[in-house]
């Protein structure tokens, strides 16, 4: 039995970051992980592998659609699916080994196995029980399905199965037009699948700024994705080689069916807390299965904390990382803090979609007096040169104070561009502050400045 200041359960972005920060702050730290590699869902079967496939399939798209225009002639590359999966697995390996290296560097013990908490102050892993002054639960989330749909990870797959299909399907049906559905739907559309997306609500990515989600759907349609919106999936019947989806259109209750070779279920994830023993400990949970915490990530049981996807808030790796760092600081006697009003969200399609702060619909609903500064990438020289002029930057600012309240970008590198606005918002900046900041030419970031200028006397290139 070993004794620690902190034991973190789970080594995803929340857990491993918490462990590293605890160690950096001088706490004797261990991290429990039952997978064969560190990094959790994000590194092993989520963010990182999907980005590898998005990158590879985007290169193919560029070769097929834009190379010849630039005078790069020759046959477009063909898809060697097995090699693409090998590349993806190598990327995973490099990243998970990177975390192992960081654990060694920071003298964090990796307790291999699945952890449980027999009592406050103790963590059991296999036959061993370890002592910990404090425990951070960072057990993440798991795939979930909807009634009538059983995931077999062969024909009816979650994002996990979709990252290792035997071959590129001819027909892919995606249930749910959220982040996973659209990212992985894009991958397979670029690789030649017919992709049909079925969404319960009337828009894609329903929580996004409505103007952006409308433009997003139009651009994805241009790339070959088909959408059936306002459709409630009733059931999926799968054989060994095919599946049939039955859905009802909500507007008239009419029933329809759709055949597909593969069905991707992307209707959300659920907190994962199985086997931790939280019930017996009396840890308070929400109705949605999340661990309840206070503003310092403490549960109702002394010495037990929780962060990331298993607590309230957006299920995003970077939200979990921020909570991991802040929780470590709290445990080290410092003042950990997360600004939940400035957490960006990004969809890594092409173009990318990124947002931070409030949407126009939210501002309207809250009765806020706001103004909008918009700038199209059509007016950005760099974007035009790179065949990336689809999309726009939209900044929402308070009408009287000019303070930035939210920003929504659809366009090239949106997921990187959003961060100058995040920094601005953290500093309580006005749109004018951004507009007065010199931006290098020619960069995509000039479109952000132009949108800020559009909140004032007007953009230059509009
Ligand atoms: P999501 O919540 O983003 O989207 C789920 C979609 O499914 C919604 O649009 C919802 O209306 C729809 N839906 C729900 N029930 C349905 C039904 N019966 N029939 C048809 N449609 C239905 O969830 P996701 O895409 O599964 O992703 C899971 C989590 O992982 C999310 O929290 C997401 O933010 C996170 N994630 C983030 C990223 C990223 O940041 N790039 C990437 C992948 C996953």
Tell me the CA–centroid distance for residue 78 and ligand 1, in Å: 31
Using alpha carbons, select from 384, 357, 385 the residue that is nearest to residue 372. Answer: 357
Q: Answer whether 236 contacts ligand 1 (Cβ < 6 A).
A: no
> Which tokens in the block code for residue 338?
């997360």
Which of 146, 86, 435, 117 shows the shortest CA–CA distance to 306?
117
Q: What does the block give as tokens for 155?
A: 């024909």
Rounded Cα distance, 266 and 59, in Å = 25
Output the pLDDT for position 300. 98
DSSP string, 274-317: TTS-HHHHT--B-TTSPBP--TTSB-SSTTEEE-GGGSSS---H
Over residues 250-263, the pLDDT tens digits come to: 999 999 999 999 99
Give phi and psi for 101, each to the nearest 5: -60, -45
Which atom of ligand 1 is the closest one to the Cα of 348?
Answer: 41
The candidate with the shortest Cα–Cα distance to 191, out of 380, 16, 56, is 56
Closest CA to 434 of 443, 423, 442: 423
Ligand 1 center from residue 268 Cα (angstroms): 4
Q: How far does the centroid of ligand 1 lie from the alpha carbon of residue 145, in Å?
A: 11
pLDDT, mean over the chain: 97
Residue 196 near residue 174, CB atoms below 8 Å: yes
Structure tokens at 426: 């953290």
- CA 295 to CA 449: how far, in whole Å? 35
Burial (0-12, 13-18, 19+ Cβ within 10 Å), 339: exposed
* 3-state SS class at 445: coil
Which pLDDT score, from 0 to 100, does residue 85 have? 98
Q: Is the pLDDT of residue 2 over 90?
A: no
Cα 259 from Cα 144, distance rounded (Å): 22
Helix/strand/coil for 373: strand
Which pLDDT belongs to residue 111? Answer: 98
- Enumerate the β-bridge partners of residue 134: 6
354 lines ligand 1 (CB under 6 A): no
pLDDT tens per residue, range 375-421: 999 999 999 999 999 999 999 999 999 999 999 999 999 999 999 99
Beta bridge partners, 123, equal 130
Is the pLDDT score of 148 beyond 80?
A: yes
pLDDT at 76: 85
Q: φ and ψ at 100, to 5 degrees?
A: -60, -40
Give the closest residue to 123 by CA, choosing from 258, 304, 251: 304
pTM above 0.95, yes or no: yes
Half-sphere exposure of 183 (CA within 13 A, CB side): 24
| Burial of 143: CB neighbours in 10 Å, binned 0-12, 13-18, 19+ | buried
How much of the chain, in percent, has pLDDT values that exceed 90? 99
| 318 is annotated as an active-site residue | no
pLDDT tens digit sequence for 409-462: 999 999 999 999 999 999 999 999 999 999 999 999 999 999 999 999 999 999
> 409, 455, 408: which is closest to 433 by C-alpha?
455
pLDDT given at position 322: 98
Ligand 1 atom closest to 233 (CA):
19
Give dist(CA 211, CA 221) in Å, integer. 16
Residue nearest to atom 34 of ligand 1 (CA): 315
Among 43, 45, 47, 180, say which to mutate for ligand 1: greatest number of ligand atoms within 8 Å of CB: 180
**CA distance readout (Å), 192 to 78, 81, 223, 238:** 11, 12, 11, 22
**pLDDT for position 1:** 75
Kindly report the protein residue whose alpha carbon is nearest to atom 32 of ligand 1: 315
- Between the CA of 328 and the centroid of ligand 1 the distance, in Å, is 29
Burial level of 214, CB count in 10 A (0-12/13-18/19+)?
middle
């Amino acid at each position: 039995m070993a004794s620690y200041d902190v034991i973190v359960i789970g080594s995803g972005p929340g857990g491993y970051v918490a462990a590293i920060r605890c160690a950096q702050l001088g706490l004797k730290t261990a991290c429990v992980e039952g997978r064969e590699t560190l990094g959790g869902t994000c590194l092993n079967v989520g963010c990182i592998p999907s980005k590898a496939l998005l990158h590879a399939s985007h290169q193919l798209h560029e070769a097929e659609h834009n190379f010849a225009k630039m005078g790069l002639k020759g046959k477009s590359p063909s898809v060697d699916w097995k090699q693409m999966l090998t590349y993806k697995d190598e990327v995973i390996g490099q990243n998970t080994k990177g975390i192992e290296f960081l654990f060694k560097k920071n003298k964090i013990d990796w307790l291999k196995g699945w952890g449980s908490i027999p009592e406050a102050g103790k963590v059991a892993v296999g036959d061993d029980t370890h002592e910990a002054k404090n425990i951070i639960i960072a057990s993440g989330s798991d795939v979930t399905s909807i009634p009538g749909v059983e995931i077999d990870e062969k024909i009816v797959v979650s994002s996990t199965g979709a990252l290792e299909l035997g071959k590129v399907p001819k027909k892919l049906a995606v249930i749910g037009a959220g982040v996973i559905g659209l990212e992985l739907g894009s991958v397979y559309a670029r690789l030649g699948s017919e992709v049909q997306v079925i969404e319960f609500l009337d828009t894609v990515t329903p929580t996004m700024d409505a103007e952006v989600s409308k433009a997003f759907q139009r651009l994805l349609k241009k790339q070959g994705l088909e959408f059936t919106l306002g459709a409630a999936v009733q059931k999926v019947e799968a054989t060994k080689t095919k599946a049939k989806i039955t859905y009802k259109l909500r507007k008239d209750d009419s029933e329809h069916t759709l055949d597909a070779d593969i069905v991707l279920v992307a209707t959300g994830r659920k907190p994962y807390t199985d086997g931790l023993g939280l019930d017996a400990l009396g840890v308070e949970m929400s109705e949605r299965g999340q661990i309840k915490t206070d503003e310092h990530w403490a549960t109702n049981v002394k010495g037990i904390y929780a962060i990331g996807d298993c607590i309230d808030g957006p299920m995003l790796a970077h939200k979990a990382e921020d909570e991991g760092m802040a929780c470590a600081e709290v445990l080290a006697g410092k003042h950990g803090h997360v600004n939940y009003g400035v957490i960006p969200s990004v969809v890594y399609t092409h173009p990318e979609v990124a947002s931070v702060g409030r949407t126009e619909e939210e501002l309207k609903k809250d009765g806020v007096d706001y103004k909008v500064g918009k700038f199209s990438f059509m007016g950005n020289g760099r974007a035009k040169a790179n065949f990336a002029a689809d999309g726009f930057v939209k900044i929402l600012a308070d009408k009287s104070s000019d303070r930035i309240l939210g920003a929504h970008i659809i366009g090239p590198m949106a997921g990187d561009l959003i961060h100058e606005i995040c920094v601005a918002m953290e500093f309580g900046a006005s749109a004018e502050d951004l507009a007065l900041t010199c931006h290098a030419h020619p960069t995509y970031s000039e479109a952000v400045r132009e949108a800020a200028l559009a909140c004032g006397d007007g953009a230059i290139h509009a």
